[in-house]
Structure 1
Amino acid sequence: MKHQSRSRPAFLLSLFALSGCMVGPDYKKPAAIISPRFKELHPAKGWDYAAPSLAAAPKGKWWEIYNDPELNALEERVAINNQNIAQYEAQYRNARATINAIRAQLYPTLSGSLSFNRNSQGRGSRNASSGVLVNYADGSSGTTYTASNTTESTYGMGPTASWDLDLWGKIRRQIQSQVTEAQASAADLANATLSYQAQLATAYFNLRYQDSLKDLLHRTAELYEHSLKITQNQYDAGVAEPTALLQAKTQLEQTRAQEVQAGIARAQYEHAIAVLIGQPPANVTIPTGSLTRNIPAIPVSVPATLLQRRPDIAAAERRMESYNAQIGAAVAAFYPDVKLTASYSYSGDPVGALVQVANRIWSLGAAATETIFSGGSRTAAVYEANANYDAYTAAYRQTVLTALQGTEDQLSNLRILADQAAQQAIALDAANKAVTVSMNQYMAGTEIYTTVITAQATALSNAETSLAIQQARMVDSVALVQALGGGWDASLLPSKGSMQTDNPLLPSFIQPDKNK
């Protein structure tokens, strides 16, 4: 007996030692397909858009680089009130809760029971113990049987426990898979937040473009109104044709109609901004402003930084580890499943004497189950898990390539648009001078009014083009900030250890609404 008592702890210790084993491949981050530097930042391009130091890169509240108080106030409300972000936040909390649900399988399951049974047996049974010998008057004798009825009450109570030892790490692989999936969900949340913040900034600058376009058309209409008065005076003096007067009038009214039309797009952008900040359009009114002329310099580093700064890349990378862990969980199905069971109870009658040694029942047991034949389902599950991992590896690499493409697109857009803006400024200056010259010639009687109208229309077209180029540069600068991750960093993801707390906190990049 002493030998058995000593070997039992040793046996249990060996089980715990085995429980540290996890079958299946350990995760090794695959290499991404990435270039050593961005094509647009090659010295041959002669463009120093990345001249500012990386320390000056936007972080957190990246929209503050535009120095627009109205934009700052609107952006602050996106992460709090945007309902699409709220959905991603709920999905993240769901992923974290699932971790604890899976982790609970590592611990023993303890249950208690309380039972009562009342059994009745007998009535008319014929057995030796119930028979009575009877002597009859004629001298004969016989046995008379009487009906018996036995009723018993049985009470029982006690706990039972079972424990899956997870010797091969199936449960722990499932936990690993869910932890990394929850990290990916946190990255999805960050990516969604950045996306909707960028959408708001884009809508805001488009709205400001409509404000500036409306102002341009209004100033142009005032100029045309002045020209109409000159033409009217010329007509009244008998030196201008009726056609010139009608042309001047037509040009003025067309421009006023364009000014009114600009309000359509402005209203739609304002409505879009309202929805992005989680408000009905009727509750949001944005004062009229103008499109800024300042394009902030956005520092750009080497492409490898995107692997840390892009939340969509981080999400794809975390899902690779999640699916790698699922391979281990599938492999563990080939090994025996070992469980420990224990029970301790009392059963008897009456209730007052139930908890006595004589009524005690206890048991300890261990069982190992192994699937001998499953028609190849376990092998298929391993193949399926490997295929899923390979698919997400390809998805990760494609996400990196798409990120590189998006960044290169915005870098080239900004470089080319800067050149176009400079060239367009020259064209606009020339068009404005042509208006002045043509008007002077008309006043001198050396040119017809059609020449003035043509020059004015050309000048307005060039002014609109200059404004559209500025709009595109602002929108592309927002897109570049988004392509670079908006100052986000993978270190902001919740750690694996913190993901398994009972009361998970939100990631640091989310500011929950305290009024909820």
Structure 2
Amino acid sequence: RYTPPSQTTSVRWKNPSTLASTTSTFDNFWELFEDPLLSELENKALSGNYSYKTALDRVAVARALAGVAKSALYPHISLNAGYDYSQEFVKFHGDKRKTLFPGLKDKLHIWEQDYSFPNIFTYELDLWGKRRSLYKSSIYQAQAEEDRARSMLLTLTCDVASQYFNIRTLDTQLDLLEQIAGLLQTALHLHRHRFASGLDNGLQLASSEKALKDLEAEIEDTLRQRTLFENALATLIGVSPYELNLPRALLSRILPSIPVDLPSTLLKKRPDIAEAERTMASRHALINMAYASYFPSLSLTGGGGISSVQLQDFLNFKGYLWQVGANLVQTIFDAGRNRSGLNAAKASFHYAEDSYKQVVLTAFQEVENALNNLSQQEKQGEKLKQSLQAAQKSAYLAEMRYQRGLVDKLSFIQHQKQALQSERSLANVLGSRYQSTLNLIKALGGSWSRSTAASSEIKRLPPLTYNKRSPS
């Protein structure tokens, strides 16, 4: 008897979430970010991604195979209408023909025809549950494919969001880099003027030129990375890279809050855990089928119909025929085939069981990692905010001193550059926090309700009529 596995879980998380909890439910997690363009890209991915379509195709195949297995539970009836016509030419030789068969011609033309319409009935009684176990296994495997498709859907939507926020992080970096480039160009102009006036020996001018060119090279590399992320995003939504050109936009500084439930609820949310459990159920049903192979099989056959050499008799039902029969088969010697089949089924089940436990442990690890990253990155962000505030204050004081003539413009530009560099560091951490938030969403199963609107096309197979969803 199969029972769903019980997994020991901790009472709380090692790294509890510091984010505010919410009672709202979101079938589509990207709605949390309140970004219309992101929502549009996600919807395009749901309808255009070919990897997701192949996952749905696998679901259709598994369901069809379950239908094939179900058909074996019922009798098979076949109709076979037939018409046979034959001719034979006979020639007799010898004198005895005239004595034995006077009046018989030397040559005869013989023809024969037969009309038949038999109805054949066959049914193998499932006395030991062999065919029913196979049907159970196919149903549970189809359900596993459904959960695999949901897992594919979760990965797809998280990848779309990840690429999108990578692009927005680079857009923010480009904006800051271009501001710094403007400051360096101003500084270079001042150094050229001072060099032309004989106030500099050329060393500071060369250093200023190098700093500007290095920054311009960094801008080009950032643009290169942005194009790669954009191309990857195009593939995810099912279009060619040529067709996708996202306008530049800055990364929002407001992150959504993600509610984190108790560890025990994770087992009910993640589609990969559900897939592993359904695979276990499928393999367990195959053990029952292997056991049933030890017992005899009983088949019933029957038939009825009409057969006649004259069409008029055929239509008048004068040539009625019928037959019934039974067939009992018991294997006496199979050189260990049934035993090996049973051992293979048990080993396959234990493999699925161990895989399930590994998936569960990996799920807990992924949640803990995401919570840890978010917690540490939040603290890191607070430190960088303080650093940015100090740099901005320094730039403000330098501007005041410059306006009063206490420092030159180059000193003022240097303080402005430091403030922008601090802002770049903060933007990098913000981008990392977006990625960690997505990792947490993915680790938690992607939504805060069991039914997922984005996967409404994957309607779960109904439970078996003779059993609940958990097999027995």
Same fold, judged at TM 0.5 (above): yes
> Residue in 2 aligned with 1:118?
86
Could you tell me how far 1:428 is from its partner in structure 2? 3.4
* Aligned mates of 1:27, 1:498 — CA distance in 2: 15
Alignment map for 1:50-449 (pairs within 5 Å): 51-53=20-22, 55-57=23-25, 59-113=26-80, 114-118=82-86, 120=88, 123-124=91-92, 132=99, 149=108, 150-356=110-316, 358-431=318-391
Could you list the per-position Cα deviations for residues 361-391 of structure 1 after superposition, in whole angstroms to 9, with x for gaps in the alignment? 1111222212121111111111111111111
Could you tell me how far 1:28 is from its partner in structure 2? 0.5
> Residue in 1 aligned with 2:455?
none
Tell me, yes or no, if structure 1 residue 497 matches structure 2 residue 456. Answer: no
Q: Does the CA contact (< 8 Å) of 2:116 and 2:308 recur in 1? A: yes
* Aligned mates of 1:144, 1:78 — CA distance in 2: 90
Could you tell me how far 1:452 is from its partner in structure 2? 8.4
Q: 1:39 aligns with which of 5, 9, 14?
A: 14
Structure 1: which amino acid aligns with 2:71?
A: A
Could you tell me how far 1:123 is from its partner in structure 2? 4.2
* Aligned mates of 1:123, 1:154 — CA distance in 2: 24
Question: CA 1:251–1:371 in structure 2 vs 1: closer, same or farther (change >3 Å)?
Answer: same
Instruction: Please say which of residues 239-248 and 474-483 is displaced more in the overlay.
Output: 239-248
* Aligned mates of 2:187, 2:390 — CA distance in 1: 19
* Aligned mates of 1:298, 1:471 — CA distance in 2: 17
Could you tell me how far 1:105 is from its partner in structure 2? 1.5
SS at structure 1 position matched to 2:2: coil
* Aligned mates of 2:450, 2:62 — CA distance in 1: 18
Could you tell me how far 1:297 is from its partner in structure 2? 1.2
Structure 2: which amino acid aligns with 1:339?
A: S
* Aligned mates of 1:148, 1:83 — CA distance in 2: 73
Question: CA 1:330–1:488 in structure 2 vs 1: closer, same or farther (change >3 Å)?
Answer: farther
* Aligned mates of 1:243, 1:284 — CA distance in 2: 45
Q: Does the CA contact (< 8 Å) of 1:316 and 1:395 recur in 2? A: yes
Q: Does the CA contact (< 8 Å) of 2:63 and 2:142 recur in 1? A: yes
Structure 2: which amino acid aligns with 1:420?
A: Q
Question: CA 1:131–1:337 in structure 2 vs 1: closer, same or farther (change >3 Å)?
Answer: farther
Q: Does the CA contact (< 8 Å) of 1:161 and 1:341 recur in 2? A: yes
Could you tell me how far 1:358 is from its partner in structure 2? 4.7
SS at structure 1 position matched to 2:305: strand
> Residue in 1 aligned with 2:18?
48
* Aligned mates of 1:247, 1:445 — CA distance in 2: 24
Q: Does the CA contact (< 8 Å) of 2:18 and 2:375 recur in 1? A: no
Could you list the per-position Cα deviations for residues 322-350 of structure 1 after superposition, in whole angstroms to 9, with x for gaps in the alignment? 11111111111112211111111222322
Could you list the per-position Cα deviations for residues 301-328 of structure 1 after superposition, in whole angstroms to 9, with x for gaps in the alignment? 1111111110111111111111111111
* Aligned mates of 2:156, 2:389 — CA distance in 1: 38
Q: What's the TM-score once normalised by structure 2's chain length?
A: 0.87
SS at structure 1 position matched to 2:246: coil
* Aligned mates of 2:464, 2:210 — CA distance in 1: 69
Could you tell me how far 1:489 is from its partner in structure 2? 5.3
Question: CA 1:350–1:127 in structure 2 vs 1: closer, same or farther (change >3 Å)?
Answer: farther
Question: CA 1:174–1:112 in structure 2 vs 1: closer, same or farther (change >3 Å)?
Answer: same
* Aligned mates of 1:111, 1:118 — CA distance in 2: 26
Structure 2: which amino acid aligns with 1:177?
A: S
Could you tell me how far 1:98 is from its partner in structure 2? 1.1
* Aligned mates of 1:121, 1:368 — CA distance in 2: 46
Q: Does the CA contact (< 8 Å) of 2:230 and 2:241 recur in 1? A: yes
| Identity among equivalent pairs (%) | 28
> Residue in 1 aligned with 2:470?
none
SS at structure 2 position matched to 1:260: helix
Greater Rg by CA: 1
Could you tell me how far 1:207 is from its partner in structure 2? 0.2
Structure 1: which amino acid aligns with 2:7?
A: A
* Aligned mates of 2:393, 2:443 — CA distance in 1: 41
Could you list the per-position Cα deviations for residues 74-123 of structure 1 after superposition, in whole angstroms to 9, with x for gaps in the alignment? 11111111110000001101111111111111222222221314264864
* Aligned mates of 1:179, 1:89 — CA distance in 2: 16
Alignment map for 1:469-484 (pairs within 5 Å): 469-484=429-444
* Aligned mates of 1:126, 1:151 — CA distance in 2: 24
Could you tell me how far 1:69 is from its partner in structure 2? 1.3
Could you tell me how far 1:233 is from its partner in structure 2? 4.4
Q: Does the CA contact (< 8 Å) of 1:191 and 1:312 recur in 2? A: yes
Question: CA 1:133–1:77 in structure 2 vs 1: closer, same or farther (change >3 Å)?
Answer: closer
Question: Which structure 1 segments of 5+ residues have no match?
Answer: 1-25, 42-46, 135-142, 501-516
Could you tell me how far 1:241 is from its partner in structure 2? 3.3
Q: Does the CA contact (< 8 Å) of 1:157 and 1:345 recur in 2? A: yes
* Aligned mates of 1:488, 1:93 — CA distance in 2: 27
> Residue in 2 aligned with 1:28?
3
SS at structure 1 position matched to 2:328: strand
Q: Does the CA contact (< 8 Å) of 1:311 and 1:489 recur in 2? A: no
Structure 2: which amino acid aligns with 1:312?
A: D
Q: What's the TM-score once normalised by structure 1's chain length?
A: 0.80
